[in-house]
Amino acid sequence: MTTVSGYEQTEYSTKAIYFQLDDNWRRASGKGVSVAIVDSGIDTKHPDLGGRIVDSVEARIDNKRIIFDTSDAGDSAGHGTACAGIVAKIAPDAELHSIKVLGAGGLGDGQAFLAGLEYAIKKRFHVINLSLGTTKPQFFSPLHDLLDRAYQAGCIVVAAANNLPHPSFPSVFSSSLISVIKSEETDPLNFGFHYGEVIELTAPGVNVRTPWPGGGHRNLTGNSFACPHIVGVIALLLEAHPDLTPFQVKSALYSIAKENQNPGDEG
Whether the CB-CB separation of 237 and 68 falls below 8 Å is answered with no
Which residues lie below 8 Å from residue 129, measured CB to CB, with a gap of 6+?
Answer: 35, 36, 37, 38, 39, 83, 87, 158, 227, 228, 231
What amino acid positions are annotated as catalytic residues?
39, 79, 224
Whether the CB-CB separation of 121 and 143 falls below 8 Å is answered with no
End-to-end CA distance of the chain: 15
Distance (Å, rounded) from C-alpha 252 to C-alpha 242?
13
Measured from the Cβ of residue 72, the count of other Cβ atoms closer than 10 Å reads 9
Which residues lie below 8 Å from residue 128, measured CB to CB, with a gap of 6+?
Answer: 35, 36, 38, 117, 120, 121, 150, 155, 156, 157, 158
